Structure 1
């Protein structure tokens, strides 16, 4: 892992674990998911709202329950402090036909509130692409 990637994972974990909303509502936010950013993949594992592990560019045998896939350009727009129209959430970005939701979408929906909060933290730390 590069120094920049290691720094990003540390910052993302710290901002997530200190987030008041995730601390209040994350009791059952336990899942693992993949953010596919075209040139970089990030596997995020959470337990009770806290990030247990962040793996950059996981191998093919790494397990995750669902994946959110989009181009690096879409992730860069999504992570801006004020995203452009149609990049402000996963549903809007999926309507652009660039973002795809795959895997066990029931788990995604069961954790949607906390997942949305967690993804919005990308607007503070940015994305590693």
Structure 2
């Protein structure tokens, strides 16, 4: 993905997040940092009170995150479809499907699950950057 396309994707993702009514209503305590590992692309997202602070589309090995969601590029493309195929509609289903893995501080993931789910569903609007 070219730098301009990465910037456009991250801008669209942040704009959709910031106008998401569910995140506005429930995101007061949605503050965390997490990594989306899409096999060929890694994205570090930092949120604060339901809003995105930063999106790093090229994190380095020392960039900190609390948890990671890792899957193949193919799984992320299916997950990001407007209507995903069966077993790609959520992180739990995709984990049971086979190659999506949840790593790190899963307590933080679970404490923020409702908002994280709403945020990941934004991929169905803006697409996956892989």
TM bin, normalised by shorter chain, reads: over 0.9
Aligned-pair CA distance for 1:96: 1.3
Aligned-pair CA distance for 1:90: 0.1
Q: Which residue of 1 aligns with 2:53?
A: 52
| Residue ranges of structure 2 left out of the alignment (5+ in a row) | none
1:32 aligns with 2:33: yes
Aligned length: 129
**Structure 1 vs Structure 2 CA RMSD:** 0.7
Report the TM-score when normalising by structure 1.
Answer: 0.99
Rounded to whole Å, the distance in 2 between the matches of 1:88 and 1:63 is 27
Aligned-pair CA distance for 1:57: 1.9
| Residue ranges of structure 1 left out of the alignment (5+ in a row) | none
Q: Deviations over 1:75-94 (max 9, x none)?
A: 00000000000000000000
Aligned-pair CA distance for 1:72: 0.1
Rounded to whole Å, the distance in 2 between the matches of 1:105 and 1:50 is 20
Report the TM-score when normalising by structure 2.
Answer: 0.98
Q: Which residue of 1 aligns with 2:68?
A: 67
Rounded to whole Å, the distance in 2 between the matches of 1:39 and 1:96 is 20
